[in-house]
Structure 1
């Protein structure tokens, strides 16, 4: 059985001086990568390829996430900011190229096609999300659904190569973990008002608030005091804790149905940070 060492292997592609000195990279997709590796290793026919497939998928995800950090406008003329923007574009292209090279040199043409189709679906979902946001038609439920689907697509593309009962379990468990991770992030996101725009809380208030409250959210200048008042009025923090708690329970039920005790143990270990976080905030959960 292969031991998990994907982040260490990926460093040979991500830790270049030019990138580290002049720009920042997004977080490595650690949770999704660990999940995919664990499931692939359950299939004897795929275990020898689990490291290759997981590394390639992590790199292409990193490439997509890096491109997402590129600002829409190129109006910034300051040399340092301009160089950072250029390197994000190049780094994203490089990570995507490495995924192709890794799979092509081992003859995994079908997997290249599979992941390429998933990339197309990711881009389609991003356009759908962007359009809803631009037209102010996004709901809080839409936000969770679309974000989870965007983050899951590359990894969902492996559903067809899963074995037996895992083939049915993989999509639900993957989405469940991604949803937990997203809700976990959203809970901390509302603590920083500068990151509040286009968050779950933002779309929830836009969906349920008064016309005046929606105008406050959509203005060019963000009034920190007013936003914090709205967060309190609509119990955004408590609702996010409730959503996370509900999702954790559903995820636990899915994991318990897996046939492999070893896989169950691995997944419960991966979910421990969410359970520990909930345990550290029992009063919040009791108030829900």
Structure 2
């Protein structure tokens, strides 16, 4: 398998002119898919199906992420029709991507994988509803926000724990959850640095948790005031704190990877962790020698 093989296969299902012309899709979950493929390669019982399992997981994830991009509420004004078309295409595209996993796995006789992924989808919907409810009531703190985000990213991938054996079975849940946490923190750091998605991100919940009563009240009452939010993000050092959290999680992830018994797997996973280490802050030049 080449480095981008699964993503190339997925493009057969995700590349459509109608979608690209009228709406946008979420990013391909490349890191988690490569993580899954690399670890499945070490499992003799399923290694021959690793490409298929990685492909269908990527399609299900794309389907779920596409549905999550659908905005609620009414659409008005001169841009109403394009916006409505974009919303409809996201719903249809998400349904299509999700349906492909059942078709591909059924053709291959992988009924157990169908069951496990279907159960994971149901659990993910429950987690999303719990998170949404807490957000709506302003009862979420910053760490819970990251935890929910990592749960949502890792949910499908945890389904494959039962396909693994020995030390791999014990380490896989922590590996995928830690990797997903790093993904969440990295995206939050990028958003904070670009001043994107200021309302509702980690910084918002951090200020609501740690801010003064005056700042919390102002933030709760003026959630659409980007100028105010930007000022508070700077006041509470959101970008710096996110960088520290990412660095800490990336180092823990690096240590965890080093516990796997396969030197080849460790080498294969190193490039997936390096972006987290780089974004989290300067690392010693000998950082990877501990895994050598």
Aligned residue number for residue 75 of structure 1? 75
Equivalent position of 1:40 in the other structure: 40
Alignment of 1:204-215 (within 5 A): 204-215=206-217
Size of the aligned set, in residue pairs, is: 281
1:1-288 superposed matches below 5 A: 2-4=1-3, 5-76=5-76, 78-220=80-222, 222-279=224-281
Shift of 1:280: 5.7
CA RMSD of aligned residues (A): 1.7
| CA shift digits 1:188-208 (9 cap, x unpaired) | 111344511111110010112
Conserved? CA contact 1:160–1:167, under 8 Å: yes
CA distance in 1, matches of 2:196, 2:277: 28
Contact 2:223 2:229 in 1 (8 A): no
SS in structure 1 opposite 2:193? coil
Deviation of 1:220 (Å): 4.6
* Cα distance change on mapping 1:132 and 1:155 into 2, 3 Å: same
Return 5+ residue gaps in structure 2 as ranges.
285-292
- Stretch moving more, 5-14 or 226-235: 226-235
Distance 1:147 1:184, change over 3 A: same
Give the 3 Å change call, closer, same or farther, for CA 193–273 of structure 1 in structure 2.
Answer: closer
CA distance in 1, matches of 2:226, 2:19: 34
CA displacement 1:216-262 (0-9 Å, x = unmatched):
22235644443233222222122111111111111111111110000
3-state SS of 1:71 partner: coil
Distance 2:181 2:95 in 1: 27
Distance 2:279 2:191 in 1: 15
Change (3 A) 1:55 1:248: same
Q: What is the TM-score normalised by the length of structure 1?
A: 0.93
TM-score (norm 2): 0.91
- CA contact under 8 A between 2:154 and 2:180: conserved in structure 1? yes
Deviates more, 1:168-177 or 1:214-223: 214-223
What's the offset of the Cα at 1:277? 2.8
Distance 2:186 2:6 in 1: 23
Deviation at 1:24?
Answer: 0.3
Structure 1 residues 221 and 125, CA gap change in structure 2 (3 angstroms): closer
**Most deviating of 225-234 and 43-52:** 225-234
Partner-residue secondary structure (3-state), 1:190: helix
1:281 Cα shift? 9.1
The answer to whether the Cα contact below 8 Å between 1:193 and 1:227 also exists between their aligned partners in 2 is: no
Conserved? CA contact 2:247–2:281, under 8 Å: no
Q: In the superposition, relative to structure 1, how do residues 53 and 44 fare at CA in structure 2: closer, same or farther (>3 Å)? A: same
Structure 1 window deviating more from structure 2 (132-141 vs 228-237): it is: 228-237
